[in-house]
Structure 1
Amino acid sequence: MIDNLGEATSCREVPAASIDKYQSKLPAALLGYWREDGWCSYADGLFWIVDPDAYKATLDMWLQGSGLAEIDNYHVIARDAFGSLYAWGERYQRKITVSSLAGGIVALKNQLQKPNPQPDRSLGIFLGATQRDSLDFDDNQGKPLFQRALAKLGPVAEDEMYAFEPALCIGGKADLEHMVKVKMVEHLMILDQLRH
């Protein structure tokens, strides 16, 4: 991951109680990252390793009616600057992605109920494959927005994301002119309501 995204740009120490809480729920390798580096941002805030508790209510809202909450108990382990949440299932150790700006959930449903025999390896593959390009969001012209949003709006804080006003799901335009910095949890809840 560091090869692709560089060193962490900001970190917060993880309390021992959080590590204990997720001991049998999340991959040991992730808890190792937490112990070593904490909850951090990478690539000027493009990608974040996060506190699952901060996103529990938001994730629950997005999963409502999807059938995924009946399959596993998911915890957000990472997020990006555009409000995508990357969640890990504690029972089967599989990853799902809530793509908030696109208004959907990405999951390999046929894999979700198969126990993952190598959760640490899968986590390593996910983090190792995390590239700047795959995390970026393209505008209407197919051009990546992150660097331009960073230059125009500054980096997102731990509780912020880049979004479009008006939102894409109600006819907004995916371009730099309509991009704003917003409080992440509140905006994700609004987007969830708009998509129903």
Structure 2
Amino acid sequence: MFAKLLARFPIYTVVEKPSPELIAHHRDQVPPELLEVWEQYGFGTFCDGYLKIVNPDDYADLLADSYQLTSSPSEAPPLVLFATAMGDLLVWEMGYLSLVDYRHGNVTIVGKTLKNFFRVFAEDSYLTERLRWEPYPAARERLGEPAYDECFGYVPLLALGGPETVAHLEKVKLREHLYLISQVAGVLER
């Protein structure tokens, strides 16, 4: 299924290969489809720079401080699998993939399985409606592609009344930006 994504977005930029220890540690926590991607491609960016496959351990503290699962908590903690260039996190929890949308302050389920997510991800309607792809193409045209540890962030923050326009987007450090939003807007809950 990941091959279908790469057919539409053929450039995958590898940032880091996960260690065998990291793969072993997460073997029972993430879907097998993702383990295959980690082993074949590693952590990196694709989808014209919009989606980043990340090391869940790099985001564990951020997620613990800024997100709380309130409905049917499971024993397994939520894990960040992907980050978007618009500052959203895609989190694996309770067998679902959720979009934690910090900029708008909400959480939605975007995939019942990772296999399904990989299957529908490349569809234009899914990118726009479910993953809130806009205004990424215009921001990328204006500012260039953000680095692996960056995203586009609204300045001033939407939570502070900033306008949701491309003119108010800047490249910012991803983790720091999400921490800032959570300090201003509070912990997100699902």
> Above 0.5 in TM-score?
yes
**Is the 8 Å Cα contact of residues 62 and 98 (structure 1) preserved in structure 2?**
no
User: CA 1:94/1:136 → structure 2, altered by over 3 Å: closer, same or farther?
Assistant: closer
Aligned to 1:26: 30
TM-score, scaled relative to structure 2: 0.83
1:70-89 to 2 correspondences below 5 Å: 70-71=73-74, 72-89=76-93
Aligned to 1:53: 57
User: CA 1:174/1:12 → structure 2, altered by over 3 Å: closer, same or farther?
Assistant: same
> Which of 117, 130, 136 pairs up with 1:126?
117
**Is the 8 Å Cα contact of residues 40 and 50 (structure 1) preserved in structure 2?**
yes
**Secondary structure class of the residue paired with 1:57:** helix
Aligned to 1:175: 165
Q: Which blocks of at least 5 consecutive residues in structure 2 are unaligned?
A: none
TM-score, scaled relative to structure 1: 0.81
> Which of 56, 62, 65 pairs up with 2:66?
62
Which stretch of structure 1 is more off in the superposition, 19-28 or 148-157? 148-157
1:1-196 to 2 correspondences below 5 Å: 1-64=5-68, 66-67=69-70, 70-71=73-74, 72-89=76-93, 92-107=94-109, 122-131=113-122, 133-134=127-128, 135-137=131-133, 144-196=134-186
**Is the 8 Å Cα contact of residues 12 and 40 (structure 1) preserved in structure 2?**
yes
Q: Which amino acid aligns with 2:95?
A: Q
Q: Percent identity among equivalent residues?
A: 25
Which stretch of structure 1 is more off in the superposition, 29-38 or 150-159? 150-159
Residues 149-190 of structure 1: CA deviation (Å, up to 9, x unaligned): 112222111111101000111110111211101011111011
Q: Aligned Cα RMSD in Å?
A: 2.2
- CA distance in 2 between partners of 1:49 and 1:170 (Å): 29
Q: Which amino acid aligns with 1:185?
A: R
Runs of 4+ in 1 over 6 A off after TM superposition: none
- CA distance in 2 between partners of 1:148 and 1:130 (Å): 20
**Is the 8 Å Cα contact of residues 14 and 42 (structure 2) preserved in structure 1?**
no
- CA distance in 2 between partners of 1:173 and 1:105 (Å): 21
Aligned to 1:113: none
- CA distance in 1 between partners of 2:176 and 2:71 (Å): 22
